Structure 1
């Protein structure tokens, strides 16, 4: 199981083990490259030190669990216990001797990876989201742009990542959602500023669907979906998401 854990981490997270202790040269640490935080510690520990029967060594993995209620449930299971030699309020020790099913170990490993990831990495790993993004026709003719190409560059909104869906709301005199797009690329360097606009990064958006001008007007967004302003990228209610599909 220990070898399977090492292989899983290498394949999914592209992280190799580090062996920081000369005295305990079989103990391996796995850490994030961007913030250096550990997300797993694999050790060989005497069973008696874990409160188990026997004095032989057993391979274990220490993992971080942020949800205290979930952690309290986990440590009641066979093969899972409060962390050995780490903060017992946030970490658990899991036996790698077959007591705990392989899938559960990998699920807990994924949870530990997320719990210790940087805010930027967590944002990139989150599930895809839907946004309404405003377009001001006074400054950019988005209708002409999509007539010329089904993929265009757009100012990257805060929090938007690759794979997200953006519904382009075209401002007055149109005042309606006209396009459904998929974000295909983000963090494209760009430097532009005038008295009305500042852009530091672009994203690419690919057209998926167009709507008639009278389908999702501002008046309809306000009266039926409680959207009273579209001044910047914003999430959308489930009811509107369903209607836009």
Structure 2
């Protein structure tokens, strides 16, 4: 599943308009919950390649499990206690990527601004 396919999934699943910013010469795409304006997923290109990375909110007690189980990395841009980085290179099954995205959205949707 590539970044564009995930963006299409987000558009269908959640009412979200991506916010695009440039930081250190990189384009970063941020998806926020429209109700409370809290981000639940960000996308950017990795430093080492043109591979896309999705950083997504996760339950803090699950971060280390996800990192170990799927060989993921802690988030680079967001709080590493609550976010993890998922490479969009096919190493994580598409269904699991979408599960992580849904989990991130659900975590944020329960929060108040």
TM value normalised by structure 2: 0.87
Quote the residue 1:80 is aligned against.
72
Which of 80, 94, 102 is 2:86 aligned to? 94
Structure 2 residues not aligned, in runs of 5+: none
Q: Which has the higher contact order (CA 8 A, sep 6+)?
A: 2
Q: How many residues align?
A: 110
Deviation for aligned residue 1:77: 3.0
Alignment map for 1:67-216 (pairs within 5 Å) = 67-68=60-61, 70-119=62-111
Deviation for aligned residue 1:40: 0.4
Q: Secondary structure, in 3 states, of the residue corresponding to 2:22?
A: coil
Contact kept in structure 1, 2:15 and 2:34, CA below 8 Å: no
More helix by share: 2
CA distance in 2, matches of 1:42, 1:56: 14
Distance 1:102 1:29, change over 3 A: same
Which of 47, 54, 62 is 1:61 aligned to? 54
Bigger Rg, structure 1 or 2 = 1
Deviation for aligned residue 1:79: 4.7
CA distance in 2, matches of 1:28, 1:79: 23
CA distance in 2, matches of 1:77, 1:105: 13
Structure 1 residues not aligned, in runs of 5+: 47-54, 121-245
Contact kept in structure 2, 1:9 and 1:16, CA below 8 Å: no
TM value normalised by structure 1: 0.42
- Deviating beyond 6 angstroms after TM superposition, the runs of 4 or more aligned structure 1 residues are none
